[in-house]
Structures are given as C-alpha cells and as structure tokens.
A and B are shown apart, each in its own frame.
Chain A
C-alpha cells in the first residue's frame, strides 16, 4: 500500500493530466451550450500540454539555462516545453476562431444552445 501511494505521488502529473482529459471530453460531449463545448476543448488542451511538459522532468535537474561556470550540471529536458509553446498558440487560434463562429451563430439563430439550433434547423428542413 505504501509503495502504491509513493508511486501515485511521484506520477501525480500524469494522473492529473488523464483526469483532466476525461473531464474535458465529458464536457464537450454532454453539455449542449456551445460556449461550454469550447471551454471543454480548452480543458482537454490543457491536459495534453500538462502531460507533454511533465515528460521532460529529470530527477535532480536544474532549470535549463546553461551555467558556464559549472559544466557538470544536470538540466531538465527543454525540448517538450518549447514544443508546447507552439501548441499553446494553436490552442489560442482555435479558441478565437470558434468564438467568432459562435458569435455568428448567435446572430443567425438567436440562441447558443445546440439542441435548440438543431430543432430550428429540422423544422426549416421539413417545410
């Protein structure tokens, strides 16, 4: 039991990332408000970025700014952090684009609820 708890505490980053991913996916799939779907996607993105960044950790490593005086130091891996910078920019642009689409949908249909929009569309189609 002790070993299990110690393992859990050492890998808490990964467990939290997977829990956040599932919470975000649940939010996207079940809530019918369009804005909440966008928030769910942001939560999923945060989860994946957390997972990616926590891969780079090295035990007893220092932050990866090179110290020219002491060339034997161990640094953590800086590559995953720099990859995630690009990922964050992608997430921001997807959020901005989907928010402007939601504004247009609100102006066209008058509601932000996906169920009401689909009901309005099907009664237009059946006429």
Chain B
C-alpha cells in the first residue's frame, strides 16, 4: 500500500499507540488491562507500520532474530522469577513471602512481582503478534 496520506497519518498516530500500549502494560496491576491487552496494542502499532509502509521495511526494523530472542527472553524471565520463589519461600511463584517489594495499594511501584511479570508477558505477546503477521505476509509474497 503506497499511499501518501496513509503514510503521513500513520507517522503521526503510531507513537501515540505505542505510548498507550506501554501505559496499559505498566498500569496492569492497578487498572484493567495487563500483559495480554497491552501487548496486543503494541503489536497492532507495528502491524499498522507494516501495512502502511512496505513489508520489507518493517521486517528490517523488527527482524526475525530480535523477535526470537524477545520471545525466549519473556519465558525465561517468568521461569527465573518463579525459581526465586522456590529458593526464598519454598513455593514456585511466591509474591510477598518471596521477598518482593509490596508497597501501598494503588501506587505504581507495588504488588511485588506482578509488574515484572506483566512487562515480560506484554513484550512477549507483542513480539508474537508481529511475528505471526510477518510470517503470513511473507507467504503471500512468495507465491
């Protein structure tokens, strides 16, 4: 799709979408949202970039090697935080007893390990959405 109006408007809109996605991920333990929905919005921002500019440009910006490392990194972060729970509090994925910082309810930095896990899930879901879209678009190009 090679339209000038689409390119200009998406250049204006995409930063707002990314900030909105990051806001939903970071505030996941206070307001509705969390990892899945925030990650989907981040993925949708990149999909808009792919659609309005060409697929080759987008795949250079977000190559396959980076997305592979992000996805594996997300799961390893989850497992690592779970294992901390085993060594300190004798149970996988412990929160307060595992020694994480529980602040006051309603603050941004509170609720122990939940923001860390939310960030990991958000990055992983965004990377998955982008990888799925790029793989299916590549199929079409190879026909």
Contact = CB atoms under 8 A, between A and B. Distances in A.
B31 interface: yes
A66 B105 contact: yes
Contact-residue size bin, chain A (C-beta under 8 Å from the other chain): 10 to 19
Contacts of B34: 85
Interface in A51-74: 65-66, 68
B125 A89 contact: yes
Contacts of B139: 100, 103
Contacts of A88: 36
Contact of B135 (A85, A86, A100): A100
Given A68-B105, A68-B106, A103 B136 contact: yes
Given A65-B31, A66-B105, A107-B143, A85 B136 contact: no
Contacts of A68: 105-106
A120 interface: no
Interface of A: 65-66, 68, 85-86, 88-89, 96, 99-100, 103, 107
B10 interface: no
12 contacts: A68-B106, A85-B36, A85-B37, A86-B36, A89-B36, A96-B132, A96-B136, A100-B135, A100-B136, A100-B139, A103-B139, A107-B143
Nearest to B136: A100
Contacts of B31: 65
A85 B35 CA distance: 10
B12 to A, nearest CB: 28
Contacts of B32: 65
